[in-house]
């Protein structure tokens, strides 16, 4: 019943806030996008939502970057920053230092880090141009995956609802399966990348791959 334009704008704003002011630590962007996508009524609406979500994510990531560049230490040692935990800040720093650009791309799909990495990149010497080059593809993949799956599941439900009494179960099942697969994918990424975030792995001569200043 929500106006499609308003719904799309709200989704874009929510995604923008998710990263820029750490809202993603409280309300995951995945949830916002899925809720918005299940209400789209056509392919055109889905495409518009994808574009708006990508733009919102890029604006949010950019705001996070510049907040980190201008106010990084103040945010880190503020009350909110302390609640996030020094361990999480350290993990984000080590991950960026050791993995560079790939850390920016992969962090979009990782809990907690996807909200901290833009700020951490801003506090580093990483250039904004290079930051965008890594975060834009990640935001695009993320938006396309979540919007397309949720919209397709909702569209199938609407088509089958009048003919199949179990259509609702299909819709819920499709969303659950997708979320489960997304969760497994995130756990796999975390498992593969965990060693780059551990303090005890830092050793003399460790190669830096951050591309800072490029």
Residue 212 placed within a domain: no
Q: Give the 3-state secondary structure of residue 201.
A: helix
Residue 176 placed within a domain: yes
Average pLDDT, the chain: 86
State the pLDDT at residue 53: 95
This prediction's pTM: 0.85
| Alpha-helical regions (H) of the chain | 4-20, 29-37, 43-76, 79-84, 86-99, 101-107, 113-123, 128-160, 167-193
Residue 144 placed within a domain: yes
Name the pLDDT band for 36 (thresholds 50, 70, 90). very high
For 87, the domain range is 4-201
Residue 209, pLDDT > 80, answer: no
Q: Say how many domains are in the chain.
A: 1
Residue 207 placed within a domain: no
Residue 211 placed within a domain: no
Residue 93 placed within a domain: yes
Distance between CA atoms of 120 and 89, rounded to whole angstroms? 8
């Amino acid at each position: 019943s929500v106006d499609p334009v308003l719904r799309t704008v709200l989704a874009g704003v929510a995604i923008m806030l998710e990263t820029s002011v750490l809202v993603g630590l409280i309300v995951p962007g995945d949830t916002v996008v899925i809720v918005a996508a299940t209400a789209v009524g056509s392919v055109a609406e889905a495409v518009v939502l994808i574009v708006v979500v990508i733009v919102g994510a890029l604006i949010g990531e950019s705001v996070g970057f510049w907040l980190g560049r201008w106010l990084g230490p103040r945010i880190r040692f503020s009350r909110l920053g302390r609640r996030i935990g020094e361990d999480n800040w350290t993990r984000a720093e080590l991950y960026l230092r050791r993995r560079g650009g790939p850390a920016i791309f992969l962090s979009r799909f990782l809990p907690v880090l996807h909200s901290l990495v833009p700020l951490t990149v801003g506090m580093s010497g990483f250039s904004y141009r290079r930051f965008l080059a890594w975060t834009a593809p990640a935001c695009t993949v993320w938006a396309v995956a979540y919007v397309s799956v949720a919209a397709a599941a909702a569209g199938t439900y609407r088509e089958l609802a009048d003919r199949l009494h179990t259509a609702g179960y299909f819709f819920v099942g499709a969303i659950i399966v997708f979320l489960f697969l997304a969760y497994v994918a995130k756990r796999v990424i975390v498992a593969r990348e965990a060693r780059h975030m551990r303090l005890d792995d830092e050793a003399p001569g460790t190669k830096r791959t951050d591309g800072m200043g490029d």
